[in-house]
Structure 1
């Protein structure tokens, strides 16, 4: 296991953002106030190893394969529990803080769900 956190909050705009952009922004529970409505907040945790292409992301009851990792994604994940997870399965990121994944569509989040990379 490289990184595992528990969802603690879901912003009001998360669902519309997931529908239109096929992505979700995650942030540890110290999310800045101005971003609270746009993110899935989660517990703090240590990144035990870099997330790389081919790793598996488990979200609630779904699994995804990592297809690309942006240059800044590991830095922001370590510092703030922050990255943007994009569910399009593309093999290149569009922004440096993104982690691209492919799998069983866009998930739904509930408080208490586990987000785990391995």
Structure 2
């Protein structure tokens, strides 16, 4: 009975490695279970016991982590090239907020930067 636990742990590591290797593809629980000679239900129970989350939850978390990592890398690459960073919902929400809510002085909202100071007073 003691040798079954290390073997089962190695099998769950193989399942986790398979999920990591093919996270961008549609994955099938039955196929993963067959690869380690378990039923899908037993695979879910063993995976949760080994890693503290179900295979589906693990896959979701890894996809989100990888998307976040890829987004950070694309932002860094855009900054290096001098290009504007890609838009995200958070950035769009920030742009939609009035400037005085972002901590910028409200007086600068309507002053063009290319107008010389002595000409600003004579605008009509």
Q: TM-score range by the shorter chain?
A: under 0.3
Q: Whose helix proportion is higher, 1 or 2?
A: 2
TM-score by length of 2: 0.19
Instruction: State TM-score, norm by structure 1.
Output: 0.19
| Structure of larger gyration radius | 2
> Which one has more relative contact order, counting CA pairs under 8 Å at least 6 apart?
1
